[in-house]
Structure 1
């Protein structure tokens, strides 16, 4: 009998624990807990978030909650939502594992198919409706997301936090949409690229609108930053249509480098207002925290912005597009966004303290 070599390819544990289509809800839940952590962290340095972020609907005449009340509400909200989402995620993961392992079940059992593809959607609906019910300003901003309001400044900050956060969940949103869309049809060709472009297009339109209203030329530069994402998507589309790996390898790497560098510069210089690093000081005006805190944040932002480089250097030979575990960049991006929010809010607080 001829001996045949059997190659067993291991599946990353994180893929079993949190399958790609189910990551969106876990990342959203993580983001809610990170918001609570942000409030706690900023409270150590007496940064009053309630004074720099619009919490209530502009038409709501009630007194806005204090920073301490925001902390308490965020903790209670995250705790109550976790008690619902985690059990639902556990059930979804078990069913997904059965779905992926047993072909005959997944192909022939229509009720099972319906259940496995609808549970992530149920989780997202629970998260979304709960957020809208408890945080009315989110509902207000979502309705007007493209038509961003530049004034008052605290309302604009809320818009920016929301829309920029959407850009950080583009990839898990793609996986989620493609999976749940199987409820009604086969996957639509290149639909994932369309979904990925939406958060970017929203930010581009917002920047152009702010430039049109206020004439701030920095908004054009900001729009260009988001435009740097589009050639990457175009390269992906072209490589699929023409089956050209060289296009994806050569041009996409160039656009990734431009996008990462532009975004990293904008994070530090424009969003965090750390405009005096070259001269040995972080900022010409006041800084609220110790210098090493800013330095650590800059370092982490740099590492995650260029994570695709580290993957190619250290993880490329493994056959996986990660270094440590499957989908790691999606989790790291949510963490990076949380760090970005901390120093974006800190810079807004400094602007309030030292207006020009």
Structure 2
């Protein structure tokens, strides 16, 4: 629902946003958190043409077939199916064999994300069958929109390609079908932005072009989604994962968010070292997105000074509760710094939008997603 500026903004952002700021299951930068289950293994293959895996939790309607594997479909407003790993890796390699979804405004995503909101991303736009975008974040900070880069990827809606992320303390390498397209090092990353904490894996699809989204998000996604032209389906045939560390779980030794502070319980950080590449292929010149394009974080990411990304990023809310200005809908809970849906694992999220930056930059901007 969209709320006018003024009293409604003040009420919503004081009564709801304070808790939304810490909406992650537990942010280790702010307090002590439970340990994350570690994958701790090498060469783990997940063949989704054989069906679902108990190591991934599904949200929304995810189906499986013997030809294409896992199918993530947007058929109507609010659809945003995804799967999320039940384990984390502490540095490692992930290979996704994916066919992206077509459709204006449809966004297919494959994301590595940590509890303190480090991220490494692949994103495909349904209106662009020729390119894929890579991106990264550290600690959920989005002070600029110049980290995304586009890479040639012809036919990403028509055919399966293998997209990999190879992540170490010294470099992140993005590759398509074995060909390096981007390399990031701590020295070339924005200050304090190099991803370096234990990551889970999320794959799914969502409508960035939903008419209720922020204008910046719709523009980035390529335009307004026309659901009558759907359904729009992304496919994940397989995934291969290697954890470059060993152990049964990963803990944060302090609140710094540095990789040196991570503790491997029952193992060793970089305990599988020697498996990672030492030198990446030369990468082509990266064309970063310009600052004037608020991709897509005007709708999903937030400044840490006032926002923290919800745990369901990058998939937007699936419903739009109405009639509850300044308070949570029935059944929602606010406690321990978290805003929680009516039941655990629910696919219903709270998309309250406000025209907060309209006075400053002239477009509507969701208070949180």
Give yes or no for TM over 0.5.
no
Q: Which has the higher helix share?
A: 1
Bin for the TM-score computed over the shorter chain: under 0.3
Q: Which has the higher strand share?
A: 2
Q: When the two structures are superposed, what TM-score results if normalisation uses the length of structure 1? A: 0.23
For CA contacts below 8 A with separation 6 or more, give which structure has more relative contact order: 2
Q: When the two structures are superposed, what TM-score results if normalisation uses the length of structure 2? A: 0.23
